[in-house]
Structures are given as C-alpha cells and as structure tokens.
Amino acid sequence: MDDAELGRRLELLRVEHRDLDDSITALREAGSVDQLQLARLKKRKLRLRDEIAMIEDELIPDIIA
C-alpha cells in the first residue's frame, strides 16, 4: 500500500473506532447491558486501535537523534 491508501485506511479505521465508542456509550446508557455484546465491542475497538497504531507507525517514520 502506498501512503495515500494507508491514509484513507487510517481515516476509515478512526471513524469506525469513534463509532464503536459511541455504540459502547449508548449500550451502557440503555440500562439493560448485554455484557457479551459490550465485551465484543470493546475487543473490536482494541483491535482497531492496534491497527491504527501500526498504520501510523508506517506513515510516520521514527527519527533517531
């Protein structure tokens, strides 16, 4: 993937991550919380965070002083 494709993928992942955050908040506020569904959403959110971090590492090279 080139930088432009990685940038687009990164933006899509960030949007999905925010959407999951909103879904988790809404589920908690709904009152009757399905713990299994909540756990699955949190796990998906963590996987997205890891993928976002990997793409950011590819796009932003480390500068060694």
The token duo for 58 is 């590819």
The CA-based angle 51-20-29, given to 5 degrees, is 150
Q: Is the pLDDT of residue 1 over 80?
A: no
Q: Which residue has the higher pLDDT, 64 or 15?
A: 15
**Model pLDDT, residue 11:** 97
CA atoms within 13 A on the CB side of 58: 15
Q: Specify the pTM.
A: 0.83
